[in-house]
């Protein structure tokens, strides 16, 4: 017994010492991280823009609407974020245009992901930059189609002698899971309104429906028309020439073909391109090229804008529309709260609602619609559509005073559906039986171990029909259109921004700037106003000290899953959210 107590005492003492050592090491790590962060802050603030500088626009990773500043945790679990904010890119180009120390832009497009609407926003900004008389030159080892779309605006386009240039057009290639689900014994029970509502097709069919093929063919052709027209304009070509080149698949051609087709101006190595750049800015051939990155430009000072009694709020809403709370997406309770704060802020005279969403929960969409309706009663609301504002994304936009979209924005898709899994086949395969005892007829409604019976299915379809009627009513009232007239353009059909303007779903074509200009006019602000972004982005300190386990897990998953992360989160949100959804396909698969 004496030895037992000795062992207990030794174990307890060892545990205390180990805990102290662990806590001490943890504190050292935290201080090291703090020091690293403070050091990184110091580096950012120490950047000084030099004379004869070049803005180095290097695109790689993913371009999103907004990206928070990285924190030490990001580096610990997944390295430096590969995402860049569209707002930071636009801000960098505008600062470069108005700063005499910057002589031009060096465009370096690599492998990166961005939608056509986002690319159009950047390209327009580059065209505006050229009006200053400053140069834009582009160089790449390999131009992907999205990168070449941006590069085509440059004064000179150069490529490496062994480089490649890709122009292939657009294609939609959905994947269908019906047969795979059947092998697992899973049946997806679908209730929907909308001939063109195609979200559930991958789970209930083995190929695209004729209606879906019709709408996809329509909108990808319209998007491609704008893309090829911009490319042709930038290179002094005819759009038909771009189609002809795409049909020859230039990615597998030699660079002399690219030269002959006027896709590039010169074939040089990067060292030679840098020498050409030195000539443009007038420095010695062996001198270091003064340059600034997108990140560097954040610390370049401009005139300080203070919030005034004439302010416009730019409110961002990106991701899936979800009910309740979560770590990502457009959460109805949070968004309603943000809208309500803007409604009560007397200094905010107008709101630009920037939407980038393919929809989600029909219930959550209705809550946000109501908040926008209340806001609209007191101050102008203008919607700026980003890459996509469709289904639930259009629901929350429909009641704005004005809607602005890019020609290549994906919108519409006015329709809803409900999808319920039936796992009875799976249970049969596993030899599992179920039984039920219930007090009322519908006590086990929604039981996934069996299919809906005829009465339940009829009730479910009626519920979806009522939801669609409400959706249609909200859009018709918001757009000031007769309900039966709008119904012709609904049925879940997807439209481009260009097509949506022609049928009255959108008022103007343009980007965020156009939406802000319209909002200022509606509020009678003239040109004397300031624009502030909402919701406020968290600082790196807040990211560290307010970080919860869900956010940490999300960052770790994003690091390891890469592009598959979005699909994972989509499936998670579907699992956690309402069965009745107003959304377009998770991924339009346009490439």
User: What size, in residues, is the chain?
Assistant: 591
In-domain check, residue 286: yes
Domain shared by 263 and 404, yes or no: no
In-domain check, residue 30: no
In-domain check, residue 27: no
Residue 131 belongs to domain spanning: 53-168+249-297
In-domain check, residue 96: yes
The rounded Cα 424 to chain-centroid distance in angstroms is 37
What pLDDT is stored for residue 528 in this prediction? 87
Domain shared by 141 and 58, yes or no: yes
Asked if 63 and 89 count as a contact pair (C-beta separation under 8 A), the reply is yes
Would you write out the chain's pLDDT as a tens digit for each of its 591 residues? 444 344 444 444 444 454 544 454 444 445 444 554 444 444 445 788 999 999 999 998 899 999 876 544 554 544 445 789 999 999 999 999 999 999 999 999 989 999 999 999 999 999 999 999 999 999 999 999 999 999 999 999 999 999 999 999 999 999 999 999 999 999 999 999 989 999 889 999 999 999 999 999 999 999 999 999 999 999 999 999 999 999 999 999 999 999 999 999 999 999 999 999 999 999 998 899 999 999 999 888 776 666 667 899 999 999 999 987 665 789 999 999 999 999 999 999 999 999 999 999 989 999 999 999 999 999 999 999 999 999 999 999 999 999 999 999 999 999 998 889 999 999 999 999 999 999 999 999 989 999 999 999 999 999 999 999 999 999 999 999 999 999 999 999 999 999 999 999 999 999 999 999 999 999 999 988 999 999 987 655 555 554 454 555 555 555 555 555 555 554 554 444 455 566 665 444 455
Domain shared by 293 and 316, yes or no: no
Cα separation values, 538 from 70, 192, 546, Å: 10, 39, 9
In the three-class reduction of DSSP (H, G, I as helix; E, B as strand; rest coil), residue 294 is classed as: helix
Domain shared by 261 and 405, yes or no: no
What pLDDT is stored for residue 46 in this prediction? 73
Neighbours of 128 (CB within 10 A): 14
What pLDDT is stored for residue 67 in this prediction? 87
Task: Check residue 108 and report its DSSP letter.
Answer: E
Domain C-terminal end among 297, 331, 354: 297
Catalytic residue among 318, 357, 391, 413: 391
Domain shared by 279 and 388, yes or no: no
Cα separation values, 330 from 139, 338, 403, 419, 557, Å: 38, 11, 19, 21, 20
Domain shared by 491 and 561, yes or no: yes
Domain C-terminal end among 271, 297, 323: 297
What pLDDT is stored for residue 333 in this prediction? 94
CA atoms within 13 A on the CB side of 259: 13
Residue 71 sits in a domain whose CATH number is 3.90.226.10
- Parallel/antiparallel/unpaired status of strands 416-422 and 580-583: antiparallel
What pLDDT is stored for residue 314 in this prediction? 97
Q: How many domains does the chain have?
A: 2
Asked if 586 and 569 count as a contact pair (C-beta separation under 8 A), the reply is no
CA nearest to 315, candidates 481, 533, 520, 141: 533
Domain shared by 381 and 337, yes or no: yes
Give me the long-range contacts of 266-274 (CB less than 8 A, separation at least 24): 266/156, 266/157, 266/158, 266/159, 267/158, 267/159, 267/160, 267/161, 267/163, 268/139, 268/158, 268/159, 268/160, 268/161, 269/160, 269/161, 270/139, 270/141, 270/160, 273/137, 273/139, 273/158
Domain shared by 486 and 345, yes or no: yes
Is 391 tagged catalytic? yes
d(CA 105, CA 57): 7
Domain shared by 262 and 367, yes or no: no
- Parallel/antiparallel/unpaired status of strands 410-412 and 494-496: antiparallel
Domain shared by 264 and 131, yes or no: yes
Domain shared by 320 and 289, yes or no: no
In-domain check, residue 229: no
In-domain check, residue 48: no
In-domain check, residue 322: yes
In-domain check, residue 113: yes
Domain C-terminal end among 257, 274, 297: 297
Catalytic residue among 97, 197, 402, 558: 197
What pLDDT is stored for residue 295 in this prediction? 92
Q: Is the bond leading into 129 cis (omega within 30 degrees of zero)? A: no
What pLDDT is stored for residue 40 in this prediction? 45
Domain shared by 316 and 370, yes or no: yes
């Amino acid at each position: 017994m004496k030895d037992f107590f000795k062992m207990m005492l030794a174990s307890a003492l060892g545990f205390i010492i180990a805990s102290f050592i662990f806590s001490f090491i943890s504190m050292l790590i935290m201080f090291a991280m703090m020091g690293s962060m403070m050091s990184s802050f110091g580096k950012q603030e120490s950047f000084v823009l030099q004379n004869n500088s070049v803005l180095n626009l290097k695109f790689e990773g993913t371009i999103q609407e907004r990206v928070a500043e990285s924190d030490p945790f990001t580096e610990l679990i997944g390295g430096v974020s590969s995402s860049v904010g569209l707002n930071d890119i636009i801000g960098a180009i505008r600062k470069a245009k108005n700063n005499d120390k910057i002589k031009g832009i060096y465009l370096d497009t690599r492998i990166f992901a961005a939608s056509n609407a986002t690319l159009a926003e950047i390209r327009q900004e580059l065209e505006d930059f050229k009006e200053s008389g400053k140069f834009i030159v582009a160089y790449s080892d390999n131009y992907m189609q999205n990168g070449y779309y941006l590069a085509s605006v440059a004064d000179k386009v150069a490529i490496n002698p062994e480089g490649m240039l890709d122009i292939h057009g657009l294609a939609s290639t959905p994947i269908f899971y019906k047969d795979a689900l059947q092998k697992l014994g899973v049946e997806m029970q679908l209730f929907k309104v909308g001939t063109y509502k195609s979200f559930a097709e991958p789970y209930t069919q083995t190929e695209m429906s004729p209606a879906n093929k019709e709408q996809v063919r329509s909108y990808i052709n319209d998007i491609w028309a704008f893309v090829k027209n911009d490319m042709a304009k930038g290179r002094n070509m005819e759009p038909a020439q771009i189609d002809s080149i795409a049909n020859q698949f230039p990615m597998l051609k030699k660079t002399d073909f690219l030269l002959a087709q006027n896709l590039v101006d010169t074939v040089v190595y990067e060292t030679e391109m840098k020498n050409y750049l030195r000539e443009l800015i007038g420095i010695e051939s062996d001198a270091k090229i003064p340059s600034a990155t997108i990140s560097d430009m954040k610390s370049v000072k401009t005139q300080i804008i203070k919030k005034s009694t004439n302010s416009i709020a730019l409110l961002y809403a990106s991701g899936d529309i979800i009910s309740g709370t979560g770590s990502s997406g457009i959460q109805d309770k949070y968004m309603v709260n943000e809208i309500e704060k803007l409604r009560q802020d007397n200094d905010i005279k107008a709101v630009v609602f920037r939407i980038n969403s393919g929809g989600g929960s029909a219930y959550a969409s209705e809550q946000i619609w109501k908040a926008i309706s209340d806001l609209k009663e007191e101050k102008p609301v203008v919607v700026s559509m980003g890459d996509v504002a469709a289904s639930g994304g259009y629901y929350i936009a429909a009641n704005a005073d004005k809607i602005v979209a890019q020609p290549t924005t994906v919108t519409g898709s006015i329709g809803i559906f409900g999808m319920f899994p039936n796992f009875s086949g799976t249970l049969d395969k596993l030899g599992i039986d179920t039984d039920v005892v219930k007090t009322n007829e519908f006590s086990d409604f929604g039981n996934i171990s069996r299919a809906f019976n005829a009465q339940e299915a009829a009730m479910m379809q009626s519920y979806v029909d009522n939801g669609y009627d409400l959706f249609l009513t909200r859009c018709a009232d918001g757009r000031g259109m007769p309900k039966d007239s709008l119904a012709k353009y609904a049925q879940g059909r997807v439209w481009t921004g260009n097509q949506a303007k022609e049928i009255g779903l959108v008022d103007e074509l343009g980007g965020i700037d156009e939406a802000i200009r319209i909002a200022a006019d509606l509020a009678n602000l003239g040109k004397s106003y300031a624009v502030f972004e909402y919701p406020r982005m968290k600082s790196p300190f807040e990211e560290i000290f307010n970080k919860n386990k869900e956010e940490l897990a999300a960052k770790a998953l994003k690091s390891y899953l890469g592009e598959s992360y979005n699909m994972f989160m989509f499936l998670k949100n579907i699992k956690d959210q309402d069965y009745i959804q107003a959304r377009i396909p998770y991924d339009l698969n346009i490439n």
